[in-house]
Every structure is written in C-alpha cells, then in structure tokens.
Amino acid sequence: MNRQDNGDSPLLALAQDLVRRRSVTPDDGGCQAIVAERLRASGFTVESLDSGDVANLWCWRSWGEGPVFMFLGHTDVVPSGPAERWRHPPFDAVIADGYLHGRGSADMKGSVAAMVCALENIAQSAQSIAGTVGLLLTSDEEGDAILGVRHVVKIFKSRGQHVDFCLVGEPSSSLTLGDVVRIGRRGSLTATVDVRGVQGHVAYPDKAVNPIHAVLPILSELQQRNWDGDEPYPEFPPTSFQIANFNAGTGASNVIPGNARVQFNLRYSPRWNAQNLIDDIEALFLAAGVEAAFDWHRSGEPFHTSGGILRNAVRKILAKQCGITPEENTGGGTSDGRFIATMGAEIVELGPINSSIHQIDECVAVQDLLQLQHIYQHIARDCLSRNA
Ligand SMILES: [Zn+2]
C-alpha cells in the first residue's frame, strides 16, 4: 500500500479535515464551522440557518448587480457500517494509491472542499464577475430532508431572495469525471392503501367481500398503464409504478380476509404532479367501488432544466477541462435540487464518480477532486461573467 500525504494541497487538506468529522446524518460534526471560517476569511457573509438538530449554512459574496450562482451541498454522511471491514478506517481520511478514502469522501465532502476552494479562488480575482456567488450546506440530505434545504428555501422565499443558477455537487459521474451530469430528477410519490373487504368463509363468497380480488384489477391497470402517453417526456426515463409491499390474509386457507394493504411508489416525469396522480388513482378506486383508505407521502416533485446558461456553461467547461461531452440525464433518485427548483433556478448536478458511495471503502480519486475544483470555479465564473 502506498500511503501519501496531501502534498500540501489546500483542497486535499480541507477534504481530509471534513472526512475526519464523524458527521453521520443529521449531525454536522463541526464541518460547517470549518467552511464558515474559511469563507469568512475570504470576505464572504456567513449565516447559520439551523433548524432543530440540523445545521444549515449559507455563505455568499456579491460583486455588484447580477445573477445569483449557488453551490449546493451537504456535510452529513450515511453510517460507515462495520469499520473493521474498511481497508482504511472510515473516518481517518487516508490518502493512498491516488485516492482519498473514507465515508463521505465522494458523497460529498470532496465536492464541498472543491466548492470552498473554488469560491476562495473566485474571491481572489473577481474583476470579471458581476453578481453573487454562494454556498449552501445542510446536514440532513441523507436523512429526512425536512429541516435542511426545504427549510432554508422557505426562509429565502420569505425574504424575497432568488437564485438563478444552482450547481449541486452530488456524485453524478459514472466511469470518468464529468461523463454524466443530471439536469433534473423525477418526482417520487408513495401510497399506503388499506383496502377494506368483509371477512368470510371461502366456501361462502356471497357472504364476504374479498379485498384482494377487489384491488387486483386496479393494481394491474396501474402497473400496465403507459403513464407518459404516446411520447416519453423529453430527457426523462419513463414514469414508473412499482408495488413494494402487499399484505393480506389470515394465514388460514379457508378464510377470505377482511382487509388488504398495498404500498406502491411512482417515479414520475414533469407530465405529472403529486396531486394529479393522487386524484387520478383515488378516482380509479372510487369508480371500481373499492373501499380504501389512502396515506400518501410526497418526497418531491419532478424538476427539469431543459436548457439555458448553466447547462451551456457546464458543457463548455467539461469540454475544455476534461475533453468530455457529458451525458445529460435525469436518472437516479431525487436530490436537494428539488427544493431550489421551486425558486425557478437552473439546476445542474455535477460531482465525482459515484461507484463507491454509501458503500464500505468509499473513496474518491485525488486527481478528480483537484480537477473538480477547477471545473466548479470556471462554471461559476462563466455564469457570472460580465461579458455573458
Ligand atoms: Zn449526497
């Protein structure tokens, strides 16, 4: 094993510092204090927007009138799992064989460090910039995501603040840095449905109502439906309906059960919103005369940056810095970008390779982090360029 130090790179030193804080969600572990101190020293205004046990930090600096460019990230991490199964201890931030190892190195303390250093560099030579750059961090991205960016956006809106461009540092890359960027995400809606029937003997079906039989045709219709119509929504995977759980039955082979419970999830394109889906599905049960109680959980509406200045800047900088034309897609789960999207911002997610995230032995290539800092810096400069 070839152990290396950070070669006096301020970026690697900061990334190591962050990884060494055990900030298992929603604990920030002191990460945001480090970032606040660094950016305050570079002339940024620093504001804590904590809520409950969640830490949120907003750092910003303006150079005259112009658009607002925000970097968005999180300082919390998922649990490490058994530390003895890691090649290097999960919170030691060991640099070896060209990689920074540790929980959160790729998701997404490496990106946060790259953003901070990019902002420091921008502050050092901002002659060509008009507008505001900022960094918003939360410590509950990996958790409930209620007191984090969702909460901050409420405050921003109440103060009349706006955001024009938002670059999210989530690890979007697949095989090489910058090969995939996300330009939106699908919405997510989960239903828990209790279907009521009448319990009885299987030999006397006329005296019972079988809730399984009642709900099966509806589930079958939902599962076979072409949710997006004739044409798939541009740049989105097809809307999908998946049954996650189905429970019914008393265990006895001669009893028609009195109720059934089914849980399903929809991942949907901007052709739908949560309320349309709820109305549509509940109407289906009503029309079939199936008695059911619904418990809906909306995780987030879909969002989509169909074009614009930020997407152009990302393409241009990735071509220049990495010689790569990224695949721009809306795959994967949802992200905190969904909250910023409600402010009307253009949103792109671009970060390191995601093959090890949430796993044992999470790591990020040192070279990728160093390059990411330049990429971030140039994208922000491009969007705020006086000549733009
Ligand atoms: Zn993340």
The predicted pLDDT at position 387 comes to 67
Instruction: For residues 61 and 129, give the distance between their C-alpha atoms in angstroms, rounded to a whole number.
Output: 11
pLDDT at 338 over 90: yes
User: Distance, CA 238 to ligand 1 centroid (Å)?
Assistant: 24
Whether the per-residue pLDDT at 188 is higher than 70: the answer is yes
Backbone angles phi, psi at 83, to 5 degrees: -60, -30
Which are the catalytic amino acids? 76, 141
pLDDT of 333? 79
- The three-class DSSP label of residue 304 is strand
Place of tokens 């929603």: 26
Closest CA to 149 of 337, 349, 351, 346: 337
Q: What is the pLDDT of residue 6?
A: 75
3-state secondary structure of 314: helix
State the pLDDT at residue 135: 98
CA atoms of 227 and 188, how far apart (whole Å): 14
What is the C-alpha to C-alpha distance for residues 66 and 85, in angstroms, rounded to an integer? 50
Burial degree of 289 (CB within 10 A; 0-12, 13-18, 19+)? exposed
User: What own/partner pairs with CB < 8 Å and gap ≥ 24 does 80-83 have?
Assistant: 80/24, 80/360, 81/360, 82/360
* Residue 102, CA distances (Å) to 75, 107, 134, 176, 307 in order: 13, 10, 27, 20, 35
CA of 350 to the centre of ligand 1 (A): 11
**pLDDT tens per residue, range 352-387:** 999 999 999 999 999 999 999 999 999 999 999 976
The alpha carbon of 107 and the centre of ligand 1 are apart by a number of angstroms equal to 5
Ligand 1: centre distance to CA 171 (Å): 7
* pLDDT number for residue 335: 87
Q: Let me know the angle formed at the C-alpha of 121 by 120 and 122, rounded to the nearest 5 degrees.
A: 90
Ligand 1 centroid–CA 348 distance in Å is 14
Q: Is 198 exposed, middle or buried (0-12, 13-18, 19+ CB in 10 A)?
A: middle
Q: Report the pLDDT value the prediction gives residue 299, as an integer from 0 to 100.
A: 86
From 165, 174, 141, select the one nearest 335 (Cα to Cα).
141
Q: Which residues pair with 365 in a beta bridge?
A: 99
What average pLDDT does range 140-166 have in this prediction? 94
Q: Sign of dihedral through CA atoms 301, 307, 312, 313?
A: negative
CA of 74 to the centre of ligand 1 (A): 7
CA dist 385 and 366 (Å) reads 29
CA distance 45 to 58: 8
Type of residue numbered 80: S
Ligand 1 center to 308 CA (angstroms): 25
pLDDT, position 2:
62
pTM for this entry? 0.89
Task: Place 388 in a pLDDT band, splitting at 50, 70 and 90.
Answer: low
- Catalogue all structural domains in the chain, each as residue range(s) with its CATH number: 3-184+302-383 (3.40.630.10), 187-300 (3.30.70.360)
pLDDT over 70 percentage in the chain: 99
Buried b (16+ CB within 10 A) or exposed e, 101-138: bbbbbbbbbbbbbbbbbbbbbbbeebeebbbbbbbbbb
Q: State residue 230's pLDDT score.
A: 86
Task: Tell me the percentage of the chain whose pLDDT exceeds 90.
Answer: 93
Question: Out of 48-57, 135-144, 309-318, which region has the weakest mean confidence (pLDDT)?
Answer: 135-144
Residue-by-residue DSSP string for 147-162: SSHHHHHHHHHHTT--
